Structure 1
Amino acid sequence: MSFLNYVFGPNLYMEYRGVPEPQRKMYEAGAVEKFGEQILSTLSVMWSVGYYTSPLLVTFLYRRGYLVTDSMPTLAKITTSVGIIVILSLVMRGLGRKQSRSYSNMIKALVRAKSAKAPGDANSELRRFDIEFNAWPVDFDVKALTGDTKKPVATAKRREPIQLATLPCEAIAYLAINTFGLSMIYPGSVKLLQKLMRPMLISGRAKLIEDDNGIRYKVKTIDSNEIDTLFIDNRPNNVGNGKTLVICSEGNAGFYEVGIMATPVALKYSVLGWNHPGFAGSTGTPHPHQDKNAIDAVVQFAINNLGFAVEDIILYGWSIGGFSTLYAASVYPEVKGVVLDATFDDVLYLAVPRMPAALAGIVKVAIRNYCNLNNAELANEFNGPISFIRRTEDEIIAEDNHIDTNRGNFLVLSVLKHRYPNIFGASQLNKAKGLLSKPLEPYSIPVADEKLCMSRLITYASDEGKSFPMNIGADYSEEVRNLMAVFLLRKHLRDYNSTHCTQLPGEFFTMPWDIPTEQGFVFT
């Protein structure tokens, strides 16, 4: 085994030994490796801080006269000294790792996995270790698919052509979104935050792997990003839920290791979690087109590698993960259903209030042209069962915790208006807004009224099909429309008395409601 494999090999975080959670231990490096790694880690943090503060740093150095020809020898000495320190630290790290039995076993397993002829062939041995994921071999490459199963690549698209008059605003918007803007929308992509959260992520991943028999996979997207995923297979348990796969899309600072997977896992579903591009082990950046390609690759992996039918997949999205979920639903309309928790209609209406009023125009250009997370548009492209969970104490997607400003309200009403345009007229929308301006009361519609509403829907769907928008309700009275509107609202939306980031209890994760169809059913 080459010494360079130890010097430049990935960090080892944990070796799985099948022990209960309290007895699990992180990989403990020897004194030599630890000293070298601490120096490299410190330099890495300094580089990260310097990168994010580079405009201030360059200005400071320039004003102090360090960025002139006379200062070049001094800068060269500093650079050389840092280089020598890095080289010595790398050698120390390599020597320490070579003395570690755990690290030696890991690096041997990694070399064998990388030399395997087919993706994933030798990864079972490597899965005993939790390592830096960039070294992990690819288990599934969506580019290898051929025929109709391969979807077109999503690319960055502008909504409007560039105009000369707006060019300065366009330039500022582009720079903003590609420097600090995207990090504000997706703080989970900030490497410094990930470094601080690393122990928590390692612990969460170990729990999923050792307690729930999870298997970690690397999925390569059509645009060559590598997505960190984890799959828990409950099909062998022969329970009803295990035959259904729940694909979980996390929020803007969420990771599958400590995220929403816990809810469907507790209910014994088969579950597939993944991290957005640029989050933890996933490469790339969370630009919308990269996120679309990521969720597409994850679904393709579930179908072609894990062996699930599209009809057996539920797409589950929390917060900004609703965008990924709804995009996947628009591409794979045959999925079993969509569950959206604490999700908004359009990120623009969340971004503008959080920025100075004078910058509203730039914010709009930046969002619409470079980060257009418009869930309402995507939701209207999906015809299948969909359900919404609203957090009544949501402090993220509601202004000042006022429930009537919760952007989830607007998403629900947008979907219902699109699906049932003749039922949700102006009067019914106002009535629905009134209901949504406070926590929903316990569902108490009379049984006779519920049967009446259901019968009307079944009759129409049996005769005309369930494609949306439905023309049902054109000849209804205002009273019947009001009754149907409340019925449909309550069938699609549930309230959870909680803040934005609380784990969703299992009782709220249910199969989305759908209109049953009965051949030959006639309403009487």
Structure 2
Amino acid sequence: MATLYRCITGPKLFRIHKTENRQGRLHQNNIVEVGADKVLNTIKFCFSLSTWLSPILAGILYKRGYFCHEGLITLSKYAISVGVVYSLAYITRGVGRWYSPDYITFINVLLASNSAQKTVAEQSRKLLKAYDFEFWAWPVDFRWADVNSGAKEKKMVEGARASRARNLPFSIPCNIINYLLVHTVGRRMLYPGSTSLLNYLLEATLIQNRGKLIEEKSAVRAKLRTEDGNDIDTLFVDRSKSSNQNGRTLVLCSEGNAGFCEIGCMVTPLEAGYSVLGWNHPGFGGSTGVPFPPSIQCGIDTVMQYAIHQLGFTPDNIILFAWSIGGYPNLWAAMNYPEIKSVILDATFDDIMPLAVSKMPEFLNGRIQSSVKQYLNLNNAELICRYPGPVLLIRRARDEIITTMGPMEPHSNRGNNLLLTLLNYRYPRIVNTSTIPLLEHWLAADQTGREVLWSSHEVDADLCQDLIQMYAEEHSCQFPMQFGEDYSSEELKKFALFLAYRHMEHFDSTHCNPLPVSFLHPPWFPIKK
């Protein structure tokens, strides 16, 4: 009976990985498991869909009189009936597992991995790596608390502090509205990858790609326990012992708002031969929690600590590579770990506020701005100014996601604003009100137009490079750098174009196409790091 109980309460087994003695294969459920799983998945799908449609469903139920005493009793009866069906299917699935030799072997290994005997537990955990199963049952491989004895002081930005400062009595009703708006629709629209609906729809694809990474690239999956108690799902591919020089550098990848490490931007650094560490945001894939800024910060902080303390990479040998909204955690990490090697941001915006406002009806502008500032203040522009190292921005010429006016209006791409903010902070004597109009023209132009501007201003890249490097060596390479205070207006324009060219590359693509390996190169910096 103990084995039957473990089969009922145990995790779902997805795949048995390839080893020296067997081929990798999906776990073959018997007919009892398949039938019970269909019932359970249907109920979960309906529940997830009803969460998305809760405002509409509430209105329909109200119109049909379900919010009276008799109506609530009827709804309670429906809920009880669904609960009974769910429970019976749950038990039936366990019975089906009980008759599966593969599942019995797996559940015994999982049980032994939590043994009080250290030797038994370690041996069983090695055997457990051969199975892919629901991540909630995966043993914890690394804990933030184990390498941080006390509360770690983390850098913050003024905008993040201000977003939590609305506590006056007259603001309470607005705060309640903001909370409901963000926790029902807002967060799910901003991070669709955290919804159970999308996780369910992509489950088979994630399992398949995770299996390929583990079996073909020798990826290692690990569960990291964060400071705030969430579990982060990670995949690590170690190339540090390969003949490729890039393998000694770790590329830490942060995905977009519907991206997962199994199917996301890890592919680019893997093709380039780097060691690669991918992770899923809170609520994505196997990671627990909800993707709000505090939990995202704890997540990337734990991933960085894992890379340093368990994987053995020093910060100066870690590149932070991000796609889209993944720029936020990576820039936060760069601010708190300024000694990292570099930051590369693909299709990343400066601030979520303009994008949120542009995608919603105009009459909701005030409420959207208030809600975003209070709960979802992803202000990358503030963070990037707090990181003193090399940065490369990659702008997608036909990006349809991080533009406020559509893919045919490149001047509305919010990556432009991120570049201008960075250059204005680092080189205020060069990039300011006198040269920003020229850079805006450069950013709005196509490849031919940018080349015309470059040649018309007779930019000498080698000369610009030498003069900036000489200044940095003489006056130190600290930002803001006062280089350019004695130059003429035309000379400042040359340097402004040079700096823009060095800090941003242009990829002729829409938002979601894989990034070619050629874009993943060391960013320019005044002094070689």
TM-score by length of 1: 0.92
1:359 aligns with 2:361: no
- Contact residue 154 and residue 293 of structure 1 kept, 8 A: no
Match of 1:486, as an amino acid? L
Change (3 A) 1:463 1:391: same
Mapped to 1, the partners of 2:353 and 2:139 lie a distance apart of 38
Give the match for residue 142 of structure 1: 144
- Contact residue 340 and residue 387 of structure 1 kept, 8 A: yes
- How far does residue 269 in structure 1 lie from its aligned partner after superposition? 0.1
- Alignment of structure 1 residues 415-430 onto 2, 5 Å: 415-430=422-437
Mapped to 1, the partners of 2:459 and 2:375 lie a distance apart of 50
- How far does residue 447 in structure 1 lie from its aligned partner after superposition? 11
Q: 2:497 aligns with which of 466, 471, 486?
A: 486
Change (3 A) 1:400 1:448: closer
1:498 aligns with 2:505: no
- Contact residue 18 and residue 25 of structure 2 kept, 8 A: no
Give the match for residue 133 of structure 2: 131
Mapped to 2, the partners of 1:153 and 1:493 lie a distance apart of 26
Bigger shift: 111-120 or 390-399?
111-120
- How far does residue 211 in structure 1 lie from its aligned partner after superposition? 1.2
Match of 2:495, as an amino acid? M
Residue segments in structure 1 that go unaligned for 5+ positions in a row: 519-524
Give the match for residue 104 of structure 2: 104
1:509 aligns with 2:515: no
Give the match for residue 476 of structure 1: 487
Mapped to 1, the partners of 2:346 and 2:512 lie a distance apart of 10
- Contact residue 439 and residue 495 of structure 1 kept, 8 A: no
Mapped to 2, the partners of 1:377 and 1:80 lie a distance apart of 50
1:432 aligns with 2:439: yes
Give the match for residue 522 of structure 1: none
Bigger shift: 446-455 or 189-198?
446-455
Mapped to 2, the partners of 1:448 and 1:172 lie a distance apart of 53
- How far does residue 98 in structure 1 lie from its aligned partner after superposition? 1.6
- Contact residue 142 and residue 150 of structure 1 kept, 8 A: no
Change (3 A) 1:218 1:151: farther
Mapped to 2, the partners of 1:353 and 1:343 lie a distance apart of 16
Give the match for residue 44 of structure 2: 44
- Alignment of structure 1 residues 378-389 onto 2, 5 Å: 378-389=383-394
Give the match for residue 376 of structure 2: 371
1:183 aligns with 2:188: yes
Structure 1 residue matching 2:395: 3-state secondary structure: strand
Change (3 A) 1:413 1:30: same
- How far does residue 46 in structure 1 lie from its aligned partner after superposition? 2.4
Bigger shift: 36-45 or 256-265?
36-45
Change (3 A) 1:369 1:62: closer
Change (3 A) 1:153 1:132: farther
Mapped to 1, the partners of 2:442 and 2:208 lie a distance apart of 42
Mapped to 2, the partners of 1:116 and 1:503 lie a distance apart of 45
Change (3 A) 1:99 1:424: same
Mapped to 2, the partners of 1:157 and 1:453 lie a distance apart of 39
- Alignment of structure 1 residues 100-499 onto 2, 5 Å: 100-115=100-115, 121=122, 122-146=124-148, 150=152, 152=154, 157-159=161-163, 160-164=165-169, 166-398=171-403, 399-401=405-407, 402-441=409-448, 449-499=460-510
- Contact residue 19 and residue 130 of structure 2 kept, 8 A: no
Mapped to 1, the partners of 2:387 and 2:28 lie a distance apart of 49
Match of 1:172, as an amino acid? I
Mapped to 2, the partners of 1:154 and 1:448 lie a distance apart of 38
Give the match for residue 35 of structure 2: 35
Mapped to 1, the partners of 2:79 and 2:399 lie a distance apart of 49
Match of 1:300, as an amino acid? Q
Structure 2 residue matching 1:382: 3-state secondary structure: coil
Mapped to 2, the partners of 1:188 and 1:57 lie a distance apart of 23
Match of 1:411, as an amino acid? L
Match of 1:141, as an amino acid? R
Instruction: Report runs of 4+ in structure 1 exceeding 6 Å deviation.
Output: 117-120, 153-156, 442-448
Match of 1:474, as an amino acid? E
- Contact residue 154 and residue 289 of structure 1 kept, 8 A: no
Give the match for residue 4 of structure 1: 5
Q: Deviations over 1:311-370 (max 9, x none)?
A: 000000110001111000000000000000000000001011111111111111111111
Structure 2 residue matching 1:227: 3-state secondary structure: strand
Structure 1 residue matching 2:499: 3-state secondary structure: helix
Match of 1:270, as an amino acid? S
Match of 2:461, as an amino acid? E
- How far does residue 48 in structure 1 lie from its aligned partner after superposition? 2.2
Structure 2 residue matching 1:303: 3-state secondary structure: helix
Mapped to 1, the partners of 2:299 and 2:117 lie a distance apart of 25
Change (3 A) 1:92 1:392: same
- How far does residue 24 in structure 1 lie from its aligned partner after superposition? 5.7
- Contact residue 50 and residue 57 of structure 2 kept, 8 A: yes
TM-score by length of 2: 0.91
Change (3 A) 1:236 1:67: same
Mapped to 1, the partners of 2:337 and 2:189 lie a distance apart of 30
Mapped to 2, the partners of 1:387 and 1:141 lie a distance apart of 32
Q: Deviations over 1:427-472 (max 9, x none)?
A: 2211111111123448777999222212211211112211111011
Mapped to 2, the partners of 1:235 and 1:149 lie a distance apart of 32
- Contact residue 3 and residue 98 of structure 2 kept, 8 A: no
Bigger shift: 33-42 or 400-409?
33-42
Q: Deviations over 1:101-144 (max 9, x none)?
A: 22122212211222266799443211111111111111101011
Q: Deviations over 1:134-163 (max 9, x none)?
A: 111111010111358955598985434344
- Contact residue 155 and residue 336 of structure 2 kept, 8 A: no
Structure 1 residue matching 2:415: 3-state secondary structure: helix
